[in-house]
């Protein structure tokens, strides 16, 4: 009897994590064949690093959240612990743009939301009316609906529209690259609903939530984010080295997944060939995955997961010509400011390893989920508009000596209202009609690097359990 064959479709961090978990199981004695299929010629998906003249420039993600353990655990397994770096102490302060001016976020906030009465009363970011409305949260009863609601509606209901538009939206929406009025609360910040129900007040709940989080942390406070000395590409490079032991197809796409007469699955490849497998892990974007199936209800649900586009503009300046002091991690911009830039990371302050202390580097984000027209412009025009914003916001007139423009079209899955309900429906269809197929990745249960690693690992373990039942 031949060995069970498991295919992983997609060579981003989710697919690589799945393939690596399968390889570990194989090395531990699991009798399986493994194939990784990636449409591009290179691996890594939205992770990539440019190393130029001593600078470490990320083309996509630049760090990962440390409190979610999957990424740190993977680095440890790959022998990369000594390569990990934390954000610089210089990055302790973050700014928000209001009336094109930089305002530091005060202490006593959670995801940008002021939690304490005195913080709200003292801020310059709200009008007196806006402050009064936000403070009503302390005495307002639980008004949560039974169903999902948008993040914007929830925060407006609790804190007022001014708090949302001037402060909260810039931070919480920035994580998903989406619009607060479209993002679903239960798929993005479910803890907000829980705190409202438990404490009858979002702000009181956040105070207790953060207090308990601090109590769980023993010893000196550590940075919330991690990266690697030579960039996140280091993780991809090491995974690629480890995965030399498995069968890998690059530059090959999967066009269809169909059941075959042997109760496995037939994969139709872009080369014109086909492949029989016993289980499949699909990690491609939802709109790509949808095209692989003929099941209309499934494809319709997958197509209901929208994607946003963004461009990342990295600017490298000669330090002696950059006359603005950068003491902080950068700034975020509410959409009401109507700038091209939605956020800016002061790379050389937040991640000193990125320039080796020799240059000043800024990493600017442009484009929003509901307006990606900026991506239609030329690189030179995008850079010009970014520099104009930097002049207005920071007073910078320096000319960069080098620039990188990385366009990520349809790259950011949007967890819109009802996202979790759609996921349950997708999972029910897969379980009943496609046993042995696992659909996972950033479009489903977490967009961050640790979330994707954890999802890939979980799918791999599930596929291993499934093929055991076929032996």
The CATH number of the domain where 17 resides is what?
A: 3.50.50.60
Give the model's pLDDT for residue 217. Answer: 56
Determine, yes or no, domain membership for 89.
no
pLDDT surpassing 80 at residue 263: no
Are 212 and 104 in a shared domain? Answer: yes
At residue 219 the predicted structure's pLDDT band, cuts being 50, 70 and 90, is: very low
- Segment 242-266 mean pLDDT: 93
Lowest mean pLDDT among 27-36, 228-237, 324-333: 324-333
At residue 372 the predicted structure's pLDDT band, cuts being 50, 70 and 90, is: confident
Are 152 and 184 in a shared domain? Answer: yes
8 Å CB contact between 183 and 218: no
Are 260 and 186 in a shared domain? Answer: no
Place of tokens 């305002």: 103
- Segment 425-443 mean pLDDT: 96
In tens, the pLDDT along 393-411 reads 999 899 999 999 999 999 9
Helix (H, G, I), strand (E, B) or coil at 134: helix
8 Å CB contact between 164 and 192: no
In tens, the pLDDT along 77-86 reads 999 999 999 9
> Which of the pair, 221 or 323, is modelled with greater confidence?
323
Mean confidence (pLDDT) of the chain: 93
In tens, the pLDDT along 302-325 reads 999 999 999 999 999 998 888 888
Are 193 and 272 in a shared domain? Answer: no
Max Cα–Cα distance, the chain, nearest Å: 75
Are 197 and 107 in a shared domain? Answer: yes
pLDDT surpassing 80 at residue 220: no
Are 241 and 109 in a shared domain? Answer: no
Distance CA 140, CA 143 (A): 8
Are 180 and 328 in a shared domain? Answer: no
- Segment 213-237 mean pLDDT: 81
Are 387 and 461 in a shared domain? Answer: no
8 Å CB contact between 404 and 428: no
Q: What percent of the chain has pLDDT over 70?
A: 98
* Structural domain span for residue 397: 307-412
- Residues, the chain, total? 471
Where a domain ends, among 183, 216, 249?
216
The residues near 418 (Cβ < 8 Å, ≥ 6 apart) are 148, 184
In tens, the pLDDT along 417-427 reads 999 999 999 99
Lowest mean pLDDT among 64-68, 156-160, 231-235, 295-299: 64-68
Q: How many domains does the chain contain in total?
A: 3
**What CATH number is associated with residue 400?**
3.90.660.20
Determine, yes or no, domain membership for 58.
no
8 Å CB contact between 9 and 280: yes
The residues near 38 (Cβ < 8 Å, ≥ 6 apart) are 10, 11, 15, 248, 249, 250, 251, 252
Are 441 and 354 in a shared domain? Answer: no
**What CATH number is associated with residue 201?**
1.10.3110.10
Are 211 and 345 in a shared domain? Answer: no
Give the model's pLDDT for residue 319. Answer: 87
Are 347 and 318 in a shared domain? Answer: yes
pTM of the model as a whole: 0.94
């Amino acid at each position: 009897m031949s060995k069970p064959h498991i295919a992983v479709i997609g060579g981003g961090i989710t697919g690589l994590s799945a393939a690596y978990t399968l390889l570990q199981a194989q090395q531990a004695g699991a009798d399986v064949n493994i194939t990784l299929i990636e449409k591009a010629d290179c691996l890594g998906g939205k992770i990539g690093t440019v190393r130029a003249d001593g600078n470490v420039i990320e083309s996509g993600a630049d760090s990962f959240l440390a409190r979610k353990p999957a990424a740190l655990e993977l680095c440890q397994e790959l022998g990369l612990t000594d390569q990990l770096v934390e954000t610089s102490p210089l990055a302790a302060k973050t700014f928000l743009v209001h009336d094109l001016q930089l305002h530091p976020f005060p202490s006593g906030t959670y995801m940008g939301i002021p939690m304490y009465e005195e913080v709200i009363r003292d801020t310059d970011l709200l009008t007196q009316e806006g402050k009064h409305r936000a403070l009503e949260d302390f005495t307002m009863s639980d008004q949560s609906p039974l169903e999902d609601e948008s993040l914007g509606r929830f925060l407006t209901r609790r804190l007022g529209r001014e708090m949302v538009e001037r402060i909260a939206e810039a931070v919480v929406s920035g994580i998903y690259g989406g619009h607060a009025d479209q993002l679903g609360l239960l798929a993005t910040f479910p803890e907000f609903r829980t705190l409202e129900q438990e404490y009858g007040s979002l702000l009181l709940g956040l105070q207790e939530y953060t207090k308990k989080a601090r109590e769980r942390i023993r010893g000196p406070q550590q940075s919330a984010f991690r990266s690697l000395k030579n960039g996140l590409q280091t993780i991809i490079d090491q995974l690629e080295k480890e995965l030399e032991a498995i069968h890998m197809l690059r530059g090959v796409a999967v066009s269809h997944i169909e059941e075959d007469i042997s109760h496995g699955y037939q994969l139709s490849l872009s080369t014109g060939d086909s492949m029989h497998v016993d289980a499949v892990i699909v990690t491609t974007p939802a709109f790509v995955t949808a095209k692989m199936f003929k099941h209309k209800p499934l494809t319709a649900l997958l197509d209901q997961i929208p994607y946003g586009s963004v461009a990342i503009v990295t600017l490298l300046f000669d330090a002696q010509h950059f006359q603005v002091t950068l003491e902080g991690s950068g700034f975020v911009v509410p959409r009401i400011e109507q700038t091209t830039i939605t956020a800016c990371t002061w790379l050389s302050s937040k991640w000193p390893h990125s320039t080796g202390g020799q240059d000043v580097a800024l990493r600017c984000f442009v484009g929003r989920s509901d307006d990606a027209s900026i991506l239609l412009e030329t690189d030179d025009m995008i850079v010009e508009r970014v520099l104009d914003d930097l002049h207005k916001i920071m007073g910078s007139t320096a000319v960069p000596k080098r620039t990188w423009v990385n366009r990520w079209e349809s790259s950011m899955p949007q967890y819109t209202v009802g996202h979790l309900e759609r996921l349950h429906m997708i999972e029910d269809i897969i379980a009943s009609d496609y046993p042995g197929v696992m659909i996972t990745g950033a479009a489903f249960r977490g967009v961050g690097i640790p979330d994707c690693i954890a999802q890939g690992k979980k799918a791999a373990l599930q596929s291993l359990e499934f093929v055991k039942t076929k032996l």
